[in-house]
Structure 1
Amino acid sequence: MLESILKQDLRLFFHINGQWHNAVLDYILPLAREPYMWAPLYLFLALFVTINYRWKGFWWILFFLLCFALADQSSLYIKQAFGRVRPCRDPIVSHYARILVGYCPTSGSFTSNHAANHFALATFCFLTLKSALGRYTWLFFLWAALVGYAQVYVGVHYPLDVAGGAVLGIFIGLLSGSFFQRRIRLEPEQTS
């Protein structure tokens, strides 16, 4: 059963990485996974909550960072436990893969930290900012999915790595976002 799943994972990897590509995506997707592309969004959110919610905004930032740290460290722990080799480091797969980044990390492949981190933050933002942003909060998941897809596209992760990271991230985002909503909850400061 596991062998069949891994074969399908490899097959999907080669579709995403080797067949479903074009020059525009070859330019955009390596950039989408870089911190300088997504950091401005998260800095904007920090300013947004600080300006609109004052002290509760600072608590939101603290929980946001805690959510990120939990997802990142949990994913690193799982990587060490599984020890799956990345496609860009696999002696056989790397000869057939398109590696679109200059550096292939030496850490394990399962789970994707990028996917875990971004899905954790997407879930946290969805739960805590839904009252302020309404239906647009679903865009956080679209952003996380784009970053996860880019990890496979550039050749540093398999699809199963991204799916595992997404599940881990959503779980951590649910825990931290639900706790924040029960204990603090963003509400505009009352002015007297």
Structure 2
Amino acid sequence: MIEQLIQLDHQLFFAINKGLSNPVFDFLMPILRNKYTWIPLYLAIIFFAIKWYKIKGLYLVIFLAISVSIADFGSASILKPAFKRVRPCNNTALKEQVISRVPCGSGLSFPSTHATDHFAIAVFLITIFRKRWKNTLITGVIWAASIAIAQVYVGVHFPVDITVGALLGSFIGFGIAKLYQKYFALSTQS
């Protein structure tokens, strides 16, 4: 059973890594998964949260940072060392077939910390703002999913890695957002 799941994971990996290969994605996907690409967005979230909601906005930023910190630590420092899954681009049985579009690095693969962190951010913000801004759900999910899928496309993660990362990050983001809402409910008025 486990062997069949691993085989399916590898098939899905190559369907994305090779099967979706095209010049537009070759250009776009490395940019999407680059941590520096999103710094302006993170700064905008901080600026607007504090500008619009004052002290509650400051606490929102703090709780969002807590959410990402827990997600990042849990993924990178607890789960990756526990599972020790090698990245596809470093897997001796697969690496000759993998199209590596970014440097592989020596890190481990399971779960994807990019997916964990970005889904924690997205679900935190979705939970806080979904009643105020209806497009928050679709925008947040597409944003986080595109970063996660880019990890597979560039050759550094398997689909199971991003799926588990997305679920873990979503759980953490939702939980911390609910904790924030319990103490600092934002007005849903414009």
- State the 4+ residue runs in structure 1 displaced beyond 4 angstroms: none
Partner amino acid, structure 2, of 1:87: P
8 A contact 2:114–2:148 mirrored in 1: yes
Q: Which amino acid aligns with 2:179?
A: F
Q: 1:108 is paired with a residue of what secondary structure?
A: coil
Query: What's 1:176 paired with?
Result: 176
Determine the C-alpha separation between the residues in 1 that align with 2:46 and 2:188: 15
Q: Which residue of 1 aligns with 2:111?
A: 111
The answer on 1:82 being equivalent to 2:83 is yes
Q: Deviations over 1:22-63 (max 9, x none)?
A: 000000000001122112112111111111100111000100
Q: Structure 2 length as normaliser, TM-score?
A: 0.95
Residue 73 of structure 2 aligns with an amino acid whose one-letter code is Q
Q: Is the 8 A contact 2:86 2:108 kept in 1?
A: yes
Once the two structures are superposed, residues 157-187 of structure 1 have per-residue CA deviations (whole angstroms, 9 ceiling, x without a partner) of 0000000100100110111011111111223
Match of 2:68 in 1: 68
Aligned-residue offset at 1:91? 1.4
Residue correspondence of structure 1 range 1-192 to structure 2 within 5 A: 1-76=1-76, 77-101=78-102, 103-187=103-187
User: How many angstroms apart in 2 are the aligned matches of 1:106 and 1:135?
Assistant: 38
Aligned-residue Cα RMSD (Å) equals 1.4
TM-score (norm 1): 0.94
Aligned equivalents of 1:31 and 1:149: distance in 2? 12
Is the CA contact (8 Å cut-off) linking 2:112 and 2:162 kept in structure 1?
yes
The amino acid of 1:122's aligned partner reads: A
Paired residue secondary structure (2:135): helix
Pair 188,5 (structure 1): closer, same or farther in 2 beyond 3 Å? closer
Q: How far does residue 188 in structure 1 lie from its aligned partner after superposition?
A: 8.0
* Letter aligned with residue 70 of structure 2: L
Per-residue deviation at 1:95? Answer: 0.4
1:143–1:162 Cα change, 3 Å: same
Query: In structure 1, how many angstroms separate the alpha carbons of the residues matched to 2:21 and 2:43?
Result: 31
Cα distance in 1 for partners of 2:46, 2:137 equals 15
Given that 1:128 and 1:181 are in contact with CA atoms closer than 8 Å, whether structure 2 keeps it comes out as: yes
Separation in 2 of the partners of 1:130 and 1:44? Answer: 18
* Structure 1 spans left out of the alignment, 5+ residues: none
Q: Counterpart amino acid of 1:93?
A: L
Q: Structure 1, residues 133-171: CA drift from partner, whole Å, max 9, x if none?
A: 233342011100000000000000000000010010011
Asked whether the 8 Å contact 2:131–2:188 carries over to 1, the reply is no
Identity %: 37
What secondary structure is seen at the aligned counterpart in 1 of 2:18?
A: helix
- Aligned residue pair count: 188
Give the counterpart letter for 2:84 in structure 1: G
- Structure 2 residues not aligned, in runs of 5+: none
